Amino acid sequence: MNVTRLLMLPVVVLAISCDRNATPDTTFQQSNELSAQAPVPTSGAVGESQPAQAPPAPRTEKKAAPATPVADQARATGVNADAAVLQDFKSRIDAYMTLRKAAVKGAPALKETTDPTKIKAAQDAMATEIRAARANAKHGDIFTSEITAKFRRLLSPELKGDDGRDAKAIIKDDAPTNIPFKVNAKYPEGASVPTVPANLLISLPTLPEPLQYRIIEKHLVLVDEDADVILDYALNVIR
Amino acid sequence: MRRLLFIAVLIAGLTPQLASQELRLPNKDGSVKFGVLGDTGTGGSDQVAVAKELATWRTRFKFDFVVMMGDNLYGGEKARDFQKKFEIPYKALLDGGVKFYAALGNHDDAAIQRNYKPFNMNGERYYSFKPQNGVRFFALDSNYVDEKQLGWLDKELAASGSEWKIMFFHHPLYSSGETHGSADLQRGLLEPVFMKYGVNLVLAGHEHFYERIKPQKGIAYFTLGSSAKLRRGDLQKSALTAYGNDTDYTFILMEIVGDELYFQTINQKGTTIDAGSVRRVGKVEPTTTRTAQPVVPQAKPSPAQPGPRQEKK
């Protein structure tokens, strides 16, 4: 490491730290490999062009959660805030499904064949259309900071006790490596598909097919399984 | 005299070998005959050896289909991978009209494999098929047991009038494996459904060995994830284990005749390592500790089913 980079490091870490103060739900304890690729989450959506500049240091989480738009609106109108956040998630998933339906209209459908090349070609064509249709999609479009925080709360009880230990063991078992934490990226071919612990899966909102949750290390990834496209990710949901 | 002695010694030496190569299944006309493979997709010499042996046994035991426990293709899933890891090893069986029914493992690309016609998944992650009246197989995706799949399973089982309800999927709900062990979380969700609707037999893979589990709550469990990969020394035989082997590459032949299900587990050299049967005892009121259609191991194996190989002391 040269002198300039050494001098820059505290500045970058400070900048990231300040940025994170907006989202006390997010505590970074991720590996360097991941942090080098993963964007820094903030209270709003963060563009893909804002990768973390340095491995962020763990920090102490603030106790009070910040005011958040959907929850605030719900409270103001007397609606259950948690239900409103989950409804917001559902709306975002529905919006994706609508966009997807229109996008893949022209692509060849995935259908049974004896030729895997044709399946792969259909999958790739579908992925191309989906990426084009959501070219401006960015991290946090689906997993907003509110939704991420809600998911952490949903999963938290399931990560305790014997079931929690089992769940964490399953996540580590045959865990895939080199999964890009990048919106619209391809889930790598040949990478193992991590088993999602059943107790965690059942605690999360059910997704319409072909969407699936995947848990990579401590992070939740939303995948369009037919197209093998990563739609969004939520960092540090497993604690 | 010397010649006679030589022949006697030769016969004595060959007898156990020949006995271990015997077909120990009833092989009756009209019965449901099938093979079981697990964790096959390496494309390596061990997969090929097991596949070859399975094809050889089919000359004596004409099974119509094979169920696959997942991890059907390790690594890449391009056309050449399907050839190397499936089409070439099982060519003799595929050419002979044997159908393969796959379940998904944690190394499988679901979108590709469920649309690969020779896997007969009808484009679905989970599905069922009925090879004959009275017998229905259910392939589950144990990687992703969500509410939708559980709802489907509940509905399918409720609608099924089959006496034999056979599940196959990747993760073993009961296992004595050191690396993985029992899939407790999946079991917590699946077992109550199995018991409610009288599932009799569950086949799984994932563990790279063979283990026959003592019936649990009236359900027979087999784990077979050693049709191409082996994790020697990983099987820590436990109170669950009726018989286990983590030194041989294996496949199972099964046959359903009325209320009996016969099994014969064979290694890559064609040697039988385990055999026996379980009997379905009919419908009973399900309880928290017993399924609605329990099975019991055959109390005294008949001469045709002499039971597992005796362990050397």
How confident is the model over B267-280, as pLDDT tens digits?
999 999 999 999 99
CA B153 – CA B144 distance, rounded (Å): 13
pLDDT digits (tens, 9 = 90+) for A161-200: 999 999 999 998 878 888 999 999 999 888 888 899 999 9
Q: Is B143 on the interface with A (CB under 8 A)?
A: yes
The interface pTM score, or ipTM, of the predicted complex is 0.85
Evaluate whether A211 touches B200 at the Cβ level (below 8 Å): no
- Residue A106 confidence (pLDDT): 87
Looking at the complex, does the CB of residue B145 fall below 8 Å from at least one CB of chain A? yes
Q: What mean pLDDT, rounded, does chain B reach?
A: 91
pLDDT grade, residue A79 (50/70/90)?
confident
Q: What is the pLDDT of residue B19?
A: 59
Closest CA to A223 of A176, A181, A190: A181
Quote the pLDDT of residue B121: 98
Q: What is the 3-state secondary structure (H, E, C) of A131-144?
A: HHHCCCCCECCCCC
**Tokens 């998911």 identify what position?**
A151
Domain B31-297 has CATH 3.60.21.10: yes
For B217-222, what is the mean pLDDT?
96
Contacts of A187 (CB under 8 A, 6+ apart): A179, A214, A223, A228, A229, A230
pLDDT at A19: 35
A212 lies within 8 A of chain B by CB: yes
What is the distance between the alpha carbons of residues B192 and B199, in angstroms, rounded to a whole number? Answer: 10
What residues of chain B lie within 8 A of the CB of A107, using their CB? none
Q: Do B109 and A199 touch (CB under 8 A)?
A: no
Tokens of B55: 């094809």
Give me the mean pLDDT over the B295-309 stretch. Answer: 56
Mean pLDDT computed over B248-277: 95
In this structure, what are the phi and psi dihedrals at residue B199, rounded to the nearest 5 degrees?
-65, 135
Residue of A192, A220, A222 to mutate, testing the B interface (most B Cβ within 10 Å of its Cβ): A192
pTM for the full predicted model: 0.83
Handedness of CA B300, B23, B32, B102 (dihedral sign): positive
Token pair of B206 as six digits: 């994932």
Ramachandran category for residue B79: left, alpha or beta (phi over 0 → left; psi -120 to 50 → alpha): alpha
The predicted-structure confidence for A128-169, as pLDDT tens digits, reads as follows: 999 999 999 999 999 999 999 999 999 999 999 999 999 999
Q: Each residue of A24-76: pLDDT tens digit?
A: 333 223 333 333 333 333 333 333 333 333 333 333 333 444 555 888 888 88
> Cβ A190–B75 below 8 Å, yes or no?
yes
| Chain A, window 118-177: residues with a beta carbon less than 8 angstroms from a chain B beta carbon | 119-120, 123, 162-163, 166-167, 170, 173-174
Is the Cβ of B95 closer than 8 Å to some Cβ of chain A?
Answer: no
B115, closest residue in chain A (CA to CA): A112
**A46 reaches B (C-beta below 8 A):** no
CA distance B190 to B182: 13
pLDDT at B255 over 80: yes
Q: Is the Cβ–Cβ distance between B34 and B62 less than 8 Å?
A: no
Residues within 8 A of A (CB atoms), B 183-212 only: 184-186, 188-189
With an 8 Å Cβ cutoff, is A198 touching chain B?
yes
Query: A155: which 2 tokens?
Result: 């999963």
Question: What is the rounded CA–CA span in Å between residue A33 and residue B17?
Answer: 55
Residue A39 in contact with partner chain B when CB distance is under 8 A: no
pLDDT digit string (tens) for B102-125? 999 999 999 999 999 999 999 999
- Calculate how close chain B gets to A158, using CA atoms only, in Å: 11
Whether A188 and chain B come into contact, CB under 8 Å, resolves to: no
pLDDT digits (tens, 9 = 90+) for B8-57: 655 555 555 555 678 999 999 999 999 999 999 999 999 999 999 999 99
d(CA A191, nearest CA chain B) in Å: 7
A71: Cβ contacts below 8 Å, ≥ 6 apart: A81, A82, A84, A85, A146
CA-nearest of A196, A5, A128 to B141 is A196
pLDDT tens string A32-41 = 333 333 333 3
Residues of A in contact with B188 (CB under 8 A): 163, 198-199
Closest-CA residue of chain B to A213: B144
Please judge whether A195 and B79 are an interchain contact, meaning their C-beta atoms are less than 8 angstroms apart: no
- Binary contact (A195, B109; C-beta < 8 A): no
